[in-house]
């Protein structure tokens, strides 16, 4: 398997968040590289990062990475920091998990001297630059940068290399009901489905999310269902025949109340309006006693 060229490790604008210093390497196994901060450390001394935004790891992809490591070794060092007498992972959790699958005892690492806040920023940004995070993991990563570092969407875009509009769309996913978020994380709903559902109230979100999955709706089909029905134009009443209008006015004058004649092909009805019981009695008497 040909190794993928290493990406720019930690993104644009990171020097404003982090200025790493070379680690002290005493007691560690040095690598053949003379780059400062690189070492071989025991796998057993590396702890997972509790601030890791990634929650799902595909078993098939891990097995493929493990097979590559078994054949060619780890080509890109993990990034760690010292925490007391151990190391905490900043970047490279998939590589670490795959290394454990093939029973490696030591892995190459780059050791950075960073505080909690800097480690969190590096972990989130490194993960956000990857293409295989699901939409909810990305949304939570962007939210963490916004909340913990008080960064605007423009500043997050600068540091992660993402488009600001995309960041806003991901953050909207956090308005989804937890059940719908779980469906997105399980790849049962796409980013497009999630965006369409995000503006709905909770019960409708859940109902339409389930129906989308059961019916296999595309994003376009879901959006079409969510479109409001076109407003029906108000029906204008047909013009009144001049003879009918004249008869209606004559009756109104004779009875002293509002009259409506409904005529269609010389058949119809006469509607007499009254506003109270006294008026009804007056009109009734006019017909009965006439």
Claim to verify: residue 68 and residue 187 sit in the same structural domain: no
Claim to verify: residue 76 and residue 201 sit in the same structural domain: no
In the predicted structure, residue 110 carries a pLDDT above the cut 60: yes
Claim to verify: residue 135 and residue 51 sit in the same structural domain: yes
Lowest-confidence pick of 36-40, 211-215, 261-265: 36-40
Question: What pLDDT shows up at residue 18?
Answer: 41
Strands lying side by side in the sheet with 86-91: 38-42, 106-112, 78-83, 86-91, 46-47
Claim to verify: residue 134 and residue 268 sit in the same structural domain: no
Claim to verify: residue 63 and residue 121 sit in the same structural domain: yes
Lowest-confidence pick of 3-17, 84-98, 212-226: 3-17
Question: What pLDDT shows up at residue 204?
Answer: 93
**What's the token pair of residue 204?**
């409708």
In the predicted structure, residue 4 carries a pLDDT above the cut 90: no
Percent share of the chain, pLDDT over 90: 26
Give me the mean pLDDT over the 190-215 stretch.
93
In 3-state terms, what secondary structure has residue 260? Answer: strand
- The CA distance from 169 to 173, in Å, is 7
Its sign, for the CA torsion 73, 78, 82, 85, is negative
Q: Which residue has the tokens 């493990």?
A: 66
Identified catalytic residue from 93, 158, 234, 271: 93
DSSP codes, 125-141: HHHHTSS---HHHHHHH
Residue 190 lies in a domain: yes
Question: What pLDDT shows up at residue 130?
Answer: 66
Give me the mean pLDDT over the 81-107 stretch.
89
Long-range contact set of residues 209-215: C-beta below 8 Å, sequence gap at least 24: 209/179, 209/180, 209/183, 213/183, 213/188, 213/189
3-state helix, strand, coil in the chain (%, to 5): 50, 15, 40
Residue 237 lies in a domain: no
Claim to verify: residue 82 and residue 181 sit in the same structural domain: no
In the predicted structure, residue 30 carries a pLDDT above the cut 50: no
Lowest-confidence pick of 5-14, 81-90, 125-134, 175-184: 5-14
Residue 124 lies in a domain: yes
Question: What pLDDT shows up at residue 283?
Answer: 82
Residues 39-66 have pLDDT tens digits of: 898 999 998 877 666 666 678 878 888 8
Claim to verify: residue 33 and residue 151 sit in the same structural domain: yes
Residue 136 lies in a domain: yes
Question: What pLDDT shows up at residue 5?
Answer: 41
In the predicted structure, residue 265 carries a pLDDT above the cut 90: no
Long-range contact set of residues 232-240: C-beta below 8 Å, sequence gap at least 24: none
Residue 170 lies in a domain: no
Q: Is 93 annotated as catalytic?
A: yes
Claim to verify: residue 29 and residue 56 sit in the same structural domain: yes
Name the most confidently modeled range: 8-22, 138-152, 164-178, 243-257: 164-178
Q: What's the predicted TM-score (pTM) here?
A: 0.56
In the predicted structure, residue 138 carries a pLDDT above the cut 90: no
Q: What are the backbone angles phi and psi of residue 35, rounded to the nearest 5°?
A: -70, 135
Of 200, 226, 252, which one is at a domain's C-terminal end?
226
Structural domain that includes position 207: 176-226
Domain count, the chain: 3
In the predicted structure, residue 180 carries a pLDDT above the cut 70: yes
- The CA distance from 190 to 219, in Å, is 8
Q: Which residue has the tokens 């780890």?
A: 74
Claim to verify: residue 18 and residue 68 sit in the same structural domain: yes
- The CA distance from 136 to 253, in Å, is 73
Cβ–Cβ < 8 Å for 142, 25: no
Claim to verify: residue 263 and residue 142 sit in the same structural domain: no
Claim to verify: residue 94 and residue 205 sit in the same structural domain: no
**DSSP secondary structure letter of residue 186:** T
């Amino acid at each position: 398997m040909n190794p993928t060229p290493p990406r720019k490790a930690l993104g644009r604008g990171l020097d404003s968040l982090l200025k790493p210093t070379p680690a002290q390497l005493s007691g560690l196994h040095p690598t053949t590289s003379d780059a400062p901060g690189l070492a071989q450390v025991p796998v057993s001394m590396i702890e997972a990062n509790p601030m890791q935004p990634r929650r799902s790891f595909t078993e098939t992809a891990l097995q493929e990475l493990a097979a590559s490591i078994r054949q060619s070794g780890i080509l890109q060092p993990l990034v760690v920091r010292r925490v007391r007498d151990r190391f905490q992972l900043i970047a490279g959790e998939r590589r670490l998990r795959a290394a454990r699958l093939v029973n490696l005892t030591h892995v190459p690492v780059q050791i950075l001297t960073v505080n909690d806040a800097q480690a969190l920023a590096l972990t989130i940004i490194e993960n956000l630059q990857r293409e295989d995070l699901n939409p909810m993991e990305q949304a939570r990563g962007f939210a963490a940068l916004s909340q913990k570092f008080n960064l605007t969407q423009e500043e997050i875009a600068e540091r992660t290399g993402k488009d600001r509009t995309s960041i806003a769309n991901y953050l909207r996913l956090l308005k989804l009901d937890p059940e719908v978020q779980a469906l997105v994380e399980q790849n049962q709903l796409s980013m497009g489905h999630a965006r369409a559902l995000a503006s709905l109230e909770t019960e409708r979100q859940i109902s339409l999310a389930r129906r989308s999955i059961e019916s296999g709706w595309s994003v376009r089909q879901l959006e079409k269902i969510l479109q409001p029905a076109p407003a029906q134009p108000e029906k204008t009443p047909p013009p009144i025949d001049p003879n009918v209008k004249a008869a209606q006015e004559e009756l109104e004058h004779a009875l002293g109340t509002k009259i409506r004649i409904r005529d269609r092909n010389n058949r119809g009805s006469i509607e007499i309006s009254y506003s109270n019981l006294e008026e009804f009695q007056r009109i009734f008497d006019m017909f009965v006693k006439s």
